[in-house]
């Protein structure tokens, strides 16, 4: 078995010699113009695959390396120039810009039908080029076989202001990436049984000779599979599925057509009964491992399933991306340890964990975005206009809110968008967000159409929800949890004062209003407190008072607020309680603490601190708020000894 580089490029050959001494270079005759792919990364990888297969078909027992390099500005592909005028136009276009140099890679072995792909991206900032500099470089006649019409080793600092990433990639071959792919290509294969799920990473777990193997996609609990140990560490390995030898009895057909690529959910191919069983087991294991708490000494309630396993979420943040050269809408792709995390967007036509309304709303927003000619936002380059589409739905009212999130800049006319959505969406907003991170930030809000909020109902209570309101994402599952909290409250003495910390828009506190004498809610977000007070008025509730501020400060400075508290309810952010917050909560010395969390690990850590401070875990609950994902909601009732 030999190695062949499917390229005539002397630069690629020279770079590969630094990695492999003995290989052959045989150029492919593939015409890249036959590739219709518009996305630059997909184009480069497709071209590399065609080249590798072209040569591999002629030399079936050899490993063939295919490579193709393109330059792109935003998502425009700039390949090799046809002539002098074309090269000059390319350099003028690149002048003063930040562009990407992308090399697609493919390793192929015909007789085993093995194909492995990858890519490398380098970001290059050009200086503002003078015409004289461009013409002097072109006069050297070194541009014809160069993507973007330049060789970086020839133009150097004269053209390049900065470079982020692999220099070798810009020369023509990302050597380190090729080394990684060759290592993966030659990795051993083993047969393992999937015996666990690594929460919250979403990876299946097998064992080979006592060593953990993480299978990052495609495997189901109970499968017997053949995997390639593509990335080996000292105490564990990453495996890629080669073949499912014996399918798990818990396997089921996923209902969503986008399952597998989309990162929205990972368990649709696992029976729901097994999903919740694994979640409960993870919760108990985490309690013991991190918190040192043996659940058998408490009243442990088996995991409470979600009333709906599809169309259960009342809020989703979708991302704009690019599919076949056009603006698309969807969710981020699943993370893989084998690939660069590009935060790519998987285009969706529907979303079965949110709502059927996606089928009605997406086409309207896509037509609008494509008509403007503006591009989707790239989190890596901070270029592009359309960022996110946030949809919120009242599950018990059917009301729908849409929030279009873009960068600031020249704004297209949105009148037509509002008119087309008027029969479907009750509240339409536009938000400007210029933060560099790939998160939705409500920097500037503009209401375009309809009411400022939508309404949700929980039993006989009404809640108004605004673009940035915090509200539990699974309405019907949340109602079950609120019922368990209410049962606990009603077991306490008649005189009940409740202190709700990190109260959000007050949904827990308001649901307990008829079971308490006085309720105090505290949250750091002013908009949440305004919303909570409005929800009180909406429901005619007078025994709830809400305060804006940080939990640590209000408890420490306002003794009258916390004095005489019978029950403390905490529902902190995912990271859990800070040490200061926990210290001040313990100073309240309430007989009962009810802790709600979406993070079992943070819950277990903080529970250990409560136990050390003299609280006993009386009841432990686990709720499946998030079917088909590794996420869950947990709750503990702690009584002061």
Catalytically active residues are 598
d(CA 355, CA 604): 33
Both structure tokens of 497: 């004062």
Locus of tokens 């949440």: 528
The H or E element spanning position 475 is helix 475-490
Distance set, CA 245 to CA 113, 222, 224, 252, 317 (Å): 18, 11, 5, 16, 37
DSSP 32: G
User: Cα separation of 320 and 402, whole Å?
Assistant: 14
Token pair belonging to 580: 């200061």
Instruction: Give one DSSP letter per residue of 478-533, joined into a string.
Output: HHHHHHHHHHHHHTS-SS-EEEEES-TTSHHHHHTGGG-SEEEEEES-HHHHHHHH
Retrieve residue 383's tokens: 């270029």
DSSP structural state of residue 149:
G
d(CA 64, CA 50): 11
3-state secondary structure of 474: coil
User: Which phi and psi (to 5°) does residue 91 adopt?
Assistant: -65, -35
Burial 404-413 (b: 16+ CB within 10 A, else e): bbbbeeeebe
Beta strands in 349-468 (DSSP E): 386-393, 400-406, 427-432, 444-450, 454-458, 461-465
Closest CA to 528 of 509, 497, 502: 502
Structure tokens at 289: 């491992």
Count of CB atoms situated within 10 Å of the CB of 111: 11
d(CA 238, CA 227): 9
What gap in Å lies between CA 422 and CA 401, rounded to an integer? 11
Token pair, residue 4, equals 């062949």
Q: What is the DSSP letter of 399?
A: -
Residues 407, 584: Cα–Cα separation, whole Å: 40
CA distance 438 to 458: 32
The SS3 call for residue 406 is strand
3-state secondary structure of 386: strand
In 135-208, beta strands by DSSP E: 160-164, 189-193, 196-198, 203-208
Dist CA 637 CA 488 (whole Å): 8
Q: Report the DSSP beta bridge partners of residue 323.
A: 326
Q: Which of 103, 224, 109, 218 is nearest to 170 (CA)?
A: 103
């Amino acid at each position: 078995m030999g190695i062949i580089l499917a390229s005539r490029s002397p630069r690629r050959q020279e770079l590969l010699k630094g990695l492999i001494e003995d290989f052959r270079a045989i150029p492919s005759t593939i015409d890249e113009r036959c590739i219709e792919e518009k996305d630059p990364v997909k184009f480069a990888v497709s071209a590399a695959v065609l080249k590798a297969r072209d040569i591999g078909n002629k030399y079936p027992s050899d490993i063939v390396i295919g490579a193709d390099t393109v330059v792109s500005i935003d998502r425009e592909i700039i390949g090799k120039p046809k002539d002098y005028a074309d090269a000059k136009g390319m350099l003028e276009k690149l002048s003063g810009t930040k562009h990407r140099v992308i090399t697609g890679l493919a390793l192929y072995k015909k007789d085993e039908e093995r194909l492995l792909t990858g890519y490398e991206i380098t970001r290059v900032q050009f200086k503002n080029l003078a015409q004289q500099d461009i013409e002097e470089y072109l006069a050297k006649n070194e541009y014809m076989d160069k993507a973007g019409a330049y060789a970086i080793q020839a133009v150097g600092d004269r053209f390049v202001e900065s470079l982020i990433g692999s220099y070798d990639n810009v020369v023509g071959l990302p050597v380190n990436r090729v080394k990684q792919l060759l290592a993966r290509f030659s990795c051993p294969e083993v047969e393992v049984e999937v015996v666990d799920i690594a929460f919250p990473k979403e990876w299946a777990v097998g064992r080979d000779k006592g060593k953990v193997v993480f299978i990052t996609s495609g495997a189901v609990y109970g499968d017997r599979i053949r995997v390639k140990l593509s990335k080996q560490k000292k105490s564990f390995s990453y495996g890629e599925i080669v073949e499912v030898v014996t399918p798990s009895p818990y396997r089921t057909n996923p209902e969503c057509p986008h399952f597998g690529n989309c990162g929205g959910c990972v368990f649709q191919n696992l029976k729901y009964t097994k999903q919740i069983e694994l979640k409960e087991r993870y919760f108990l294991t985490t309690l013991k491992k991190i918190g040192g708490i043996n659940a058998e000494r408490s009243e442990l309630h088996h995991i409470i399933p979600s009333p709906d396993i599809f169309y259960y979420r009342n809020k989703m943040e979708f991302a704009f991306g690019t599919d076949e050269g056009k603006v698309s809408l969807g969710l981020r792709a699943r993370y893989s340890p084998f690939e660069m995390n590009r935060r790519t967007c998987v285009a969706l036509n529907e979303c079965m964990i949110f709502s059927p309304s996606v089928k009605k709303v997406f086409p309207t927003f896509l037509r609008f975005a494509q008509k403007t000619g503006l591009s989707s936002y790239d989190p890596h380059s901070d270029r592009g206009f359309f960022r996110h589409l946030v949809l919120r739905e009242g599950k018990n009212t059917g009301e729908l809110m849409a929030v279009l999130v873009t960068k600031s800049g020249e704004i297209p006319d949105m009148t037509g968008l509002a008119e087309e959505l008027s029969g479907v969406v009750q509240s339409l907003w536009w938000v400007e967000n210029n933060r560099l991170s790939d998160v939705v930030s409500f920097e500037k809000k503009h209401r375009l159409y309809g009411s400022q909020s939508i309404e949700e109902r929980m039993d006989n209570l009404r809640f108004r929800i605004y673009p940035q309101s915090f509200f539990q994402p699974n309405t019907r599952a949340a109602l079950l949890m609120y019922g368990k909290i209410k049962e606990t409250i009603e077991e306490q003495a008649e005189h009940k004062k409740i202190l709700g910390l990190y109260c959000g828009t007050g949904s827990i506190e308001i649901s307990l209003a008829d079971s308490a004498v006085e309720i105090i809610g505290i949250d750091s977000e002013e908009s949440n407190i305004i919303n909570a007070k409005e929800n009180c008025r909406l429901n005619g509730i007078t025994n709830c008072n809400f305060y804006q501020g940080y939990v640590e400060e209000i408890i420490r400075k306002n003794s009258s607020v916390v004095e005489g508290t019978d029950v403390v309810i905490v529902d902190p952010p995912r990271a859990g309680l800070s040490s200061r917050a926990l210290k001040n909560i313990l100073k309240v010395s309430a007989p009962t603490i009810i802790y709600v969390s979406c993070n079992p690990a943070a819950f277990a850590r903080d529970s250990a601190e409560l136990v050390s401070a003299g609280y006993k875990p009386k009841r432990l609950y686990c709720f499946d708020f998030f079917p088909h994902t590794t996420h869950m909601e947990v709750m503990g009732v702690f009584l002061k000894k």
